[in-house]
Amino acid sequence: MSGAEVSTGHRVVRAFLAGDAPAMVDLLTPDATFHSPVTDYPGRESVSKVLTALVQVLTEPKLTRILDGPGETAAFFTVPDLQGHPAEGVLLVLADQDTPATDVTLMIRPLKTLLLGIERMKQLLRYDQPSSP
């Protein structure tokens, strides 16, 4: 595909693989939603914070497959070291060919690795709460 033919979904995936959260955010609508394995983050501002943390947790993702459909791109990837464990994931981007993305969904497996990643995301997003007595 030439640069002019590359869909928004592919551009979001490229930015994700490069660890470039600002480039991902630039490709979103102002009211875009990021759907994580834990919760949804509506609005570009909250999505920006999450994606900035996410690229610090999911380092060196390797694309294994990409699927395109009308208005959607699904990228399957591996991460060799997520908190000391390998992981597999899917990034689903909803966007028409030349329009900003409205939704980005992330899924990670296996569960043990996902839970370790969630704890690291909490630290990066400063959501840690004091431990109970």
30: in domain: yes
- pLDDT for position 128: 46
Q: In which domain, by residue range, is 45 found?
A: 3-125
**Which residue type, as a one-letter code, is found at position 94?**
L
Burial of 74 (0-12, 13-18, 19+ CB in 10 A): middle
pLDDT tens-digit readout, 67-103 = 999 999 999 999 998 888 999 999 999 998 789 999 9
The answer to whether the beta carbons of residues 57 and 38 sit under 8 Å apart is: no
131: in domain: no
Residues of the chain where predicted confidence (pLDDT) is lower than 70: 1-4, 127-133
- pLDDT for position 129: 45
130: in domain: no
Q: How would DSSP label each residue in 35-68?
A: E-SS-EEESHHHHHHHHHHHHHHS-S-EEEEEEE
- pLDDT for position 2: 44
CATH of residue 10's domain is 3.10.450.50
64: in domain: yes
90: in domain: yes
- pLDDT for position 40: 97
- pLDDT for position 127: 61
71: in domain: yes
User: What domain count does the chain have?
Assistant: 1
- pLDDT for position 79: 96
For 27, the 3-state DSSP assignment is coil
**Which residue type, as a one-letter code, is found at position 40?**
D
132: in domain: no
